[in-house]
Structure formats: C-alpha cells, structure tokens
Amino acid sequence: MKKRTLPTLPTANLDLLERLYKWGVVWLVLFVIFFTVHSNGSYLFRAVSSLCFVGLVVLLVTFTNKVLLDHFMKPGRVVLFILLSIFAIVAWAAASTAIDSCLLHWIDKRSFDEMPFSPVVLVTFLVRLIWFIATYAITVIFFYQRKENEEKIISNQLKSEKLDMELRYLKSQINPHFLFNALNNIYSMVYTHDNNAADGVLKLSEMLRYVLVDCQAEMIPLSKEIKYIENFIDFQMMRMAGSRDVVLEQEVEKEDFMIAPMLLQPIIENCFKYSRLETHPEGYVHISIQQIGSGFRFVAENTIARNALPIVSNGGEEKKSGIGQKNVQQRLMLHYGENYKFDIQQDKELYKVKIEL
C-alpha cells in the first residue's frame, strides 16, 4: 500500500515564505491584491473590506494551526477534524460575506432589504469560500511540510549519532582484540628470552600511540595507516625464526589521501592468523596498497594452513564470529555508503580480499 503524501516545497522556499509570513509581507500583499480586485463599493468600503478580509484570513490560519491541526488531527479524531474544517471554512466565508453586507450598509448606505438573497451576495460568498478553501489548504500543506522538515532534521541527527556510536563500538572491538594478541606475542618473546623483545615493545608502543591517539579521528592520512601496517608486519616477523614470504607492495600517489583508521588491520591480522607462518614456513602473505588519483585499491592474499579454521564457509557465510571480515564490512558501509567494493575469494588453500574505494 503506497503512502499518500502532500505536495512539498523546497526547504529554502518554505523558510522564505515563513519569514515573509512573520514579517507581515504576505498579509500586506494579500490586502493589496484584494483591494485591487474588489469591484464593489467606494474606496473606503474596499479598504475596510480588504482589511477585515485579511484579518479573517489571519484568524483562519491561526485557528487551523493552533486548534484543528494541533488538537484534532490525531488518530481517532479524523472525522471530527474534517467536519470542523468544513464548518470553519463555511463559517469564515459566511462571516466575511456578512461583514461586507454590513459595511455596504454603513459606509455606502446600501439597503438590507434584498441583500441576503441577491446574486451579488451569493457570488461574494462563493468567492470568499474559494479564498478560504485555498487558505486552509495552503496552511495544512505548510504545517505538514514544516513537520516533515523537522522530522528529517531529527532523523539525520539520530543517524549521525548512531553512526558515531557504531564506529566507536567497532573501534573498541578492534583495540582490545589487537592489544590482547600483541601482548601474547611479547610475552612469548620474553618467555623464550628472544633478543627482539625490546624492539617488540617499541613497535607495540608506536602502534598503540596510533590506535589510541590518531584513530580518534574519523578519517586519517593513508601514510599513517601504512606506517601502522609496516610496524604490525615487523612486529609479527619478530616472533618467527628465519625468513618468510611476506611482501608489502606500495604505490601511493597522495600520502594525504584520507581513509578510515584501522580499516585494513583486521584483514592483515587474519592473513597472519590463518597462514600460521610461524609453524608453516611454506605459506605466504602478500599485501598490495595502491592509491592513484581519487581511487584506492587494497589486496591481501594469504595461504591457509591445514589446521587453521576456515574464515568463511563454501556458501560464503561467515563461520567464525568475532571481528575481522564482518567488522570491515560494517565500517565500509558506515563510512563509504555504496561507494566501495569488497570482494572475497577463498578455496581450501588460499584466501584473498580486495577492497576498492
């Protein structure tokens, strides 16, 4: 079932008309128009009649806004609202016509004898009825247009607050998870009396400074994200004996290219997690970062160790919960809307992730 909507006006035009309404310009223009088209009676009568008509229009607008729309336009009272609206429009037209008849008698000395049933009075009543119907319709349209604009503003504020809360929540998921793994790695190096333990603490300190300070911004320069990735890879390599097939390729045209912070970290962490390079030297992790013009392309490819749990099932659904892939997808959606591509390819031995912005 389609939702019925009233005609809408651009917000700028609505604001302008509301200002003109508050300043009295609308009423002045209405007075001039009504005085100009008035073809009956003397100039004094036309001026007083136009002034009374504008006053009745102001009263109808106020009555419609403050009484009908505020108190009767509610569920369960729609029928009463319609009946009162019809009554108000007819009453206002009749009152305006009666005022004109009285003014003709008092100012232009017209007789009351044939006035109530004369064709002139009937035509006057119909013309005033059309005027007040139009006034009523415009008032209702403006009321709902203003209400819709207010709801849009509130909705946008709620969406913005919700977005900020979700981003903070996702970041809070990343930071403790990373810190937990990093501390475990350092503990292993200290426990085995690894000479790289001191360098590991230094690398961890630099990465935590990035996570706790730089990542508080909504967007950061790509150069900072890459520096963090380099530190992360160096940190991972410290706990592995011998050489490993780990490659980080970079092609960056603009180092100040802005990107969501910690967006790539869950993917890179999964690369090391599921390739298990410390126990499977034949595995590899290949990472490519390319930024040209206004575009960004990230590709991470790694082998999957036999005893490592698959990241996704054959049907493409996530099998292991936590952060990682789900987190990245949520942050891409929150930051970039539909302006991104996120592609995953996996078989029993290979896992590949591609992101384009």
Per the structure block, which two tokens stand in for 202? 């230094």
Please check whether residue 65 is in contact with residue 147, taking contact to mean a CB–CB distance below 8 angstroms: no
Range among 133-147, 207-221, 305-319 rated most confident:
133-147
Tell me which of 3-17, 257-271, 274-288, 294-308 is least confident.
Answer: 3-17
Q: Which residue has the tokens 């009745």?
A: 56
Q: Which residue has the tokens 């790539």?
A: 264
- What is the predicted pLDDT for the residue at 299? 94
Alpha helix segments (H runs only) across the chain: 11-23, 25-37, 43-63, 78-107, 119-191, 197-212, 222-238, 265-275, 325-336
Cα–Cα distances (Å) from 79 to 90, 142, 302, in that order, read 17, 21, 68
The span from the CA of 142 to the CA of 119, in Å, is 35
Q: Which residues pair with 258 in a beta bridge?
A: 221
**pLDDT confidence band for 297 (50 / 70 / 90):** very high
The span from the CA of 189 to the CA of 239, in Å, is 7
Query: Residue 311: pLDDT above 80?
Result: no
Query: Residue 13: pLDDT above 90?
Result: no
Please check whether residue 240 is in contact with residue 274, taking contact to mean a CB–CB distance below 8 angstroms: no
The span from the CA of 191 to the CA of 294, in Å, is 47
- What is the predicted pLDDT for the residue at 168? 66
Q: Which residues pair with 291 in a beta bridge?
A: 252, 296
Which SS3 state, helix, strand or coil, does residue 264 take? coil
- What is the predicted pLDDT for the residue at 107? 76
- What is the predicted pLDDT for the residue at 167? 61
How many Å separate Cα 290 from the centre of its chain? 30
What pTM was computed for the model?
0.52
The span from the CA of 231 to the CA of 252, in Å, is 18
At position 188, the amino acid (one-letter code) is S
Mean pLDDT for the stretch of residues 42-61 = 83
At position 354, the amino acid (one-letter code) is K
What are the pLDDT digits (tens) for 104-134? 767 766 655 545 556 767 787 888 888 889 8
Report the half-sphere exposure of 10 (CA within 13 A, side-chain side): 3
- What is the predicted pLDDT for the residue at 320? 44
Range among 156-160, 173-177, 245-249 rated most confident:
245-249
**pLDDT confidence band for 296 (50 / 70 / 90):** very high
What are the pLDDT digits (tens) for 235-251? 777 767 778 888 999 99
